[in-house]
Amino acid sequence: MATVTLEQIESLEREMLRPKDVAPFLGVTPYYINILARDAPEKVPFPFFMSGNRVKIPRRLFVAAFQGNSGGEFPVGTPVGVDH
């Protein structure tokens, strides 16, 4: 699995990322992110939302979560647009 840096993720043009975009940075497989988001969303350490069965990750919020600055918009680990 190739290594990806936070700076590389930040420089992507897409506003919404996919698990395969961030998995190398996290050191996990995209499948792991999908399963965790579906089965234990409270354990996902960054904001995301589900679109059908797909996990969508707001790029700016992902980067902010790992820079230690969530901007006060969403607590880290809270799925965006999902009620618990």
* Residue 71 contacts residue 32 (beta carbons within 8 Å): no
The pLDDT, as a whole number, for residue 75 is 41
- Between CA 52 and CA 54 the distance in angstroms is 6
Q: Model confidence over 9-37: pLDDT tens digits?
A: 999 999 999 999 999 999 899 999 999 99
Adjacent-strand bridge partners of 57: 17
Q: Model confidence over 50-61: pLDDT tens digits?
A: 999 999 999 999
Which residues are within 8 A (CB) of 1 and not within 5 positions of it... i.e. 6 or more apart? 23, 24, 27, 29
The pLDDT, as a whole number, for residue 1 is 59
